[in-house]
A = this chain, B = another copy of it.
Amino acid sequence: MLRNDYPGQICSVAKSLEVIGERWSLLIVRDVMNGNRRFGEIQSSLGVARNVLSARLQHLVEEGILERRAYHENPPRYEYFLTDKGLDLWPALIALLNWGDKYSAGPEGAPRLIVHKECGGVVSERGICESCGKLLHARDARQVAGPGFEAALAGQSSADPD
């Protein structure tokens, strides 16, 4: 079997990528962070193939990043929640979000903003609140549509996000 690991790498970046570096994994984590907890929600939000999503969810649960909880007994229906390990991926997501905003966003600005729940300030690079200056964590913030959202929507054909 061809592994998704990076043998011979003595580096925590490589270790991280072995766990969440596969295609879709990080976007699934982001989706769950944004409140999409069910298989169908995640699937339609991401457009990922169902068998792949199934494999990724299972893998993320095994790795202790997600936790699967039944919200209905019979037939079994599940929701996926982030563990602390999963929530700790927030800084990495913020870093990628910032980089994408800086280099891939249109002139209108970022399609999505992260705001500090407590003070409403925009969360900037490194997950620091621009308004109150606090160093934030996953639970301190939430995502909202940004100034470039409409433009990004218009720029897509046959896209149906959310």
Contact = CB atoms under 8 A, between A and B. Distances in A.
Interface string A1-25: 0001011111111111111010110
A13 B91 contact: no
A86 to B, nearest CB: 10
A10 B95 contact: no
Contacts of A89: 99
Interface in A43-62: 46-47
B96 A13 contact: yes
Interface residues of A, number: 57
A160 interface: yes
B30 A110 contact: no
A74 B3 CA distance: 39
A103 B30 CA distance: 19
A14 to B, nearest CB: 6
A19 B111 contact: no
Given A6-B47, A12-B105, A126-B126, 8 more contacts: A6-B24, A7-B47, A7-B159, A11-B30, A12-B101, A16-B99, A92-B95, A92-B99
